[in-house]
Chain A
Amino acid sequence: MTLSRRHFLAAGSAIAAAGLTGCGSRSSLGGSHELSMWTWVGSVNDDLIGQAEKAIPGYDGMKLAMTRIGSNYKTKVLTALAGKSLVPDIVAINDDVATYFPNADQFYDLNELGAKDLEKDFLPWKWKWGVTPEGKMMAYPMDTGPTALFYRTDIFQKAGVDIDPAAVAGVAPDWDAYIALGKKLKQAVPGSAITDNITSIYGYRMAQQSKRYMTPDGQYLGDQDHVRQAFDLAVRVVKEGLSANAQNSSDKNAVVTNGKLVAFMGAVWWAQLGPKNAAPKTKGLWRVTAAPGGAGNKGGSFLAITKYCKNPKAAFAFISWLESAKNQAQAFLDPVLFPSTPASYTDPKLSAPDPFFGGQKIVDVFAESAKKYPGAYFSPYDTIIDTPISAELVNIEASGKDPDQAWADAQRQVERELTRAGAI
């Protein structure tokens, strides 16, 4: 009897102790001389990260511990913040940076760490995106995402289209002409598509505009003409049979690999994530030119230092080094990230010909787009608004839903969500 009692008390107290000792601990990820950082695949230059993993330049005694996350990046960051332990010191944030603003208290104010002095080096619109309405500098600029038209010269030749970039831009200056060109391509090579799916067209059309879903003072714009026109354009491309209906990532890659996707309006980073990764055999066949409908920006990211960070000074030293004009120029070479520091644009690294694009100097195309991009306001509610609209677009493409019905349903859903979020 005594044996059993002693045993159980021991077991019981061990469990209780395990629970109590861990209780309330708030920790950041990694060892005490490591700065942990999370980002997604293809958002940094690996050589630079390799250097910092040995020792962070300009800050003695600290090194970087980098983790590249695949799908659902944002979910993982937010879950880690909610989990309150093992939160990374530094996180990358996408162009939906404003959706993090309600939780800006989870991050350091970078101005207090010396960001203020570096503002002049960056594109003004890009810098502004990382600052909260209260004036807190929450996120530091990484790359930008100027858009352009990517196309396969071999297919264009088969359709009898002049493959010179200037000529292609001339044939398809606007979306109407681009759709006509798409039809021509499809006639020459059956099965050809000019977009992977309907939401890509919508998203890239929206990325060309000077306004998005809300005004800075909180007025809803998502039901206005500029949104509806982008919506209708996407529907039109699908109705013309020019979309590959690839809704998940392996299908999206498959249509690049198997050559169904013969042209794509994409942001600069797609060069790597798309053809370079998924279709290495098409090396030399791709070119880029000015996109139909004008300049645009989609994606392009930021870095933020979480409040869990064990050494914010070292973290800031690292991010300001990584995003210096010189290093951003290097990130353009691999993995084709477009700098947010105008000083980089004159760096010879950017004007190097890219053999994947048949020796074309693709920087010219993207720099033009970046310069002309009008800059739009991103609100903290943009994701809430965009999700139902994109979902309804998918309904149209995947199951043939009536577009007017889809639009009405999307608007109703947006209104419900915004009401619940207290935005309207």
Chain B
Amino acid sequence: MSVERIRTAVGHIVLMFGVLVSLFPFYWMVVMASNTTPDIFSYPPKLLIGSHLFENMGKVLDNIDFFGSMLLTLIASLGVTVLVLFFDSLAAFAFAKYEFPGRNLLFGLLLATFMIPAQLSLVPQFVTLAEFGWIGSLKALIIPGAANAFGIFWMRQYAKGAIPDELISAAKVDGAGFFRQYLTVGLPVLRPGLAFLGIFTFINVWNDYLWPLIVMTDPNRLTLQVALDQLNGIYGTDYSMVMAGALMSVIPLIGVFLIGARSFIADLAAGAMKF
């Protein structure tokens, strides 16, 4: 039994070491955000948390419209998430639970779009949106991503098993139309799946960088990621302030994640097993 116990202990040591590596960059971010720039640039470097954190955070607020960017990012992330949840679950519900002519072909088509890398159409998408007059506006961030193949595929897998056919038949007997069936039968059952897809989508939009970098041309209306990059570009001299900005941009999302972390991780793992 003692061999077993040693093995457990070794396992925990390995895991704890991994946790340290996982979390160290956050610690280091705090160290740099709470010291002064000359301290960071000097040798030997300061290894402990300093006392300038709030001063550096204040400088971030002075130099970029941090809360404006955060609001913009929040609107874009929530906008995309709500639309994706609605459109994806609706389509998934139809794909999973109804026979209709061309269903398999349409679903195959949808899967085929997985193959197309987003970057392939980076240039023409930009030009298309420029013709629409959308460059620089929130529309450019929200509308193109309002429904996606991954979400529909994932929700369909979920819906297939989760929604009992009998419930749909019962709703049909009651005279409910398709949309009512979706609302009364589909949505309630799909809720856990929606929670996962929602967090997943929200995080992805929040952290997206390449697309907003290109389409959000107005420097006064940048998403948080691009604003952070901008902060680094303008005030690269003030490294501790840049790090304070990085810290401030990371905290809200980690907060959101921690709230739903347990079930999110479980759902992600379950989803991956379905492929």
Scan residues 103-129 of chain B and give those whose CB is less than 8 A from a CB of chain A.
Answer: 126-127, 129
Say which residue of B43, B220, B236 sits within 8 Å of A67 (CB atoms).
B220
Say which residue of B38, B43, B132, B219 sits within 8 Å of A76 (CB atoms).
B219
With A67-B219, A70-B234 already in contact, the answer to whether A23 and B131 are too (CB < 8 A) is: yes
With A15-B143, A84-B133 already in contact, the answer to whether A250 and B236 are too (CB < 8 A) is: yes
Say which residue of B42, B143, B219 sits within 8 Å of A38 (CB atoms).
B219
- Chief secondary structure at chain B's binding surface: helix
Q: What is the number of residues of chain A that contact chain B, defined by CB distance less than 8 Å? A: 40
**Which residues of A have CB within 8 Å of B127?**
82
Kindly state whether residue B54 has any CB partner on chain A within 8 Å: no
With CB as the reference atom, state the residue of chain B lying closest to A4: B179
With A23-B131, A84-B133, A84-B135 already in contact, the answer to whether A258 and B179 are too (CB < 8 A) is: no
Scan residues 1-39 of chain A and give those whose CB is less than 8 A from a CB of chain B.
Answer: 1-4, 7, 15, 18-19, 22-27, 29, 38
Scan residues 255-300 of chain A and give those whose CB is less than 8 A from a CB of chain B.
Answer: 257-258, 277-278, 281
Q: Is the CB of B132 within 8 A of A257?
A: no
Chain B interface size, under 10 / 10 to 19 / 20 to 34 / 35 or more: 35 or more
Say which residue of A22, A29, A82 sits within 8 Å of B218 (CB atoms).
A29
Q: Is the CB of A4 within 8 A of B217?
A: no
**Which residues of B have CB within 8 Å of A71?**
229-230, 232-234, 236
Kindly state whether residue B237 has any CB partner on chain A within 8 Å: yes
With A3-B177, A281-B38 already in contact, the answer to whether A83 and B217 are too (CB < 8 A) is: yes
Say which residue of A4, A22, A67, A70 sits within 8 Å of B231 (CB atoms).
A70
A108 and B80 alpha carbons, distance in the complex (Å)? 39
Kindly state whether residue B41 has any CB partner on chain A within 8 Å: yes
**Which residues of A have CB within 8 Å of B207?**
none
Q: Is the CB of A70 within 8 A of B217?
A: no
**Which residues of B have CB within 8 Å of A22?**
132-134, 137, 139
With A3-B177, A15-B143 already in contact, the answer to whether A257 and B131 are too (CB < 8 A) is: no
Kindly state whether residue B67 has any CB partner on chain A within 8 Å: no
**Which residues of A have CB within 8 Å of B250?**
none
A331 and B132 alpha carbons, distance in the complex (Å)? 41
Q: Is the CB of A253 within 8 A of B233?
A: no
- What are some 9 contacts across the A-B interface (CB < 8 A)? A24-B131, A27-B133, A70-B232, A70-B233, A72-B233, A85-B137, A86-B135, A278-B237, A281-B38
* Interface positions of B (Cβ within 8 A of A): 37-38, 41-43, 126-127, 129-137, 139, 143, 177-180, 214-215, 217-220, 229-237, 239
Given contacts A22-B137, A281-B38, 11 further A-B contacts (CB under 8 A): A3-B180, A19-B143, A22-B133, A22-B134, A70-B233, A70-B236, A83-B136, A83-B215, A83-B217, A84-B131, A257-B38
